[in-house]
Amino acid sequence: METLLALIATYGLLVVFVAVFLDQGGLPVPAYPPVIVTAALAVDRGESVLAILAVATVAAVLADILWFFGGRRFGVALLRLMCKLSLSPDSCVTMTRDIYTRWGAPSLIGAKFVPGFAAVATTLAGENRTKFGSFLFFDALGALLWAGGAVLLGAVFHEAVNEVLLRLEEFGRWGLPILVGLIAAFVAWKWWQRRRFLKEIEMARISVPELHQLISEGRGPLILDVRSAKQRAEGWIPGARFVANLAEADLEPHDEVIVYCDCPNEASAAILAKQLRSRGFGRVRPLAGGFHAWMTEGHEVAREA
C-alpha cells in the first residue's frame, strides 16, 4: 500500500491521465478515485490542483475525440461492437440516442455524470455528423465540469481522504489487495447487470430471409418499427408501423408480429416484444440484426416521397 501511495505522490498526474483515459475509453477502470486521491495529496502538500484538473480534462477529451471519429467512420457498427465489449446494458444506447436526438451536442455537458452515457454519446455525435467544433466545445465543457467535481471533492475532503488512506496503510500488505478486491467487485457487479439484462430480452428472433419470405408469400405479419424519428429518415421496411412505446401502440392482438429497431442485441425491439406478449399477442419476435440487417441484404426500403 505504501508503494501505491508513493506512486501516486510521485507520478500523480500520469496516474490521473491513464485512469481517466482508460475509463473514458470504455474500460471498467474507475477514474474518480485516483483523481480525488491525487487532489487530496496535492492540497496536503500545499500544491495547486489546477494541473490535476487540466490533465484529467485533457485525458477525457482525447478519449472522447477517438469515440467521435470512430462514430463518424463506423457508425452503427461501432455502437454494436461497444455493446458487445461493454459491461453496460445495451438499453443505454437507445436511451442515449433519444437524449442526443432531443438535445444534440449540449447533452455532452452532462454526459459524464450519467452511467453508460459518455462513450455512447460521443460516438453518436460522430455518427450524427455533429460539427467537430461544436462537439469539442460542449464535450470539453462537460469534461471540465466532470473532472472539476472530482478535484473539488479531493480538495474539500482531503482530511477525510487522508484518514481513509491511513487506515488502508495500517493494513500493511493487505491494503492493496483490498483496493483490488473493491475494483473487482465493481466489475463483477457491472457484469451481473449486463447478464441480467440479456436474460430479460432473451427470446426467439426471426431472420431477415424468413421475414422477406413471409412478405413475398403474402403472409405479411404486422411489422412494428420502434426506432427514433431520425433513424426512420433513412427508410423503413415496407408496411411497417411506427411505434415509440406500448402506450401509443393502440394495437389489437395479431397472429404474427415482428418488431425491429436498429440497436445492439435488438434491445428496444425485444423489450416491446415482451410487453406485447404480456398483453395477449401470440407470436411476437424481434428481427435479428434489425433494420441494418434488412438493408445489408439489399431488400426493398420504403422512404418518404
Reported as a single tens digit per residue, the pLDDT across 252-271 is 666 788 988 877 666 777 77
Give the pLDDT mean for 271-279: 77
Length of the chain: 305
Per the CATH hierarchy, to which homologous superfamily does domain 208-296 belong? Rhodanese-like domain (3.40.250.10)
Residue 90 clears pLDDT 60, i.e. is over it: no
Q: What is the CA radius of gyration of the chain?
A: 23
pTM over 0.75: no
Residues 6+ apart with CB under 8 A from 191: 87
**Side-chain-side CA neighbours of residue 90 (13 Å):** 25
Model confidence pLDDT, tens digit, residues 21-57: 998 887 777 888 889 989 998 898 888 999 999 999 9
Q: What is the pLDDT of residues 157-206, one digit of tens each?
A: 888 877 776 666 666 566 667 767 777 787 787 777 667 766 655 667 88
**Cα–Cα dist 299/296, whole Å:** 8
Give the domain ranges of the chain.
2-200, 208-296
C-alpha 219: how far from chain center:
38
Place 152 in a pLDDT band, splitting at 50, 70 and 90. very high
Look at the alpha carbons of 287, 97, 147, 144 in this order and tell me if their dihedral is positive or negative: positive
Contact 85, 26 (CB under 8 A): yes
Classify each residue of 91-104 as buried b or exposed e, where b means 16 or more C-beta atoms within 10 Å of its C-beta.
bbbbbbbebbeeee
Mean pLDDT for the stretch of residues 91-97: 60
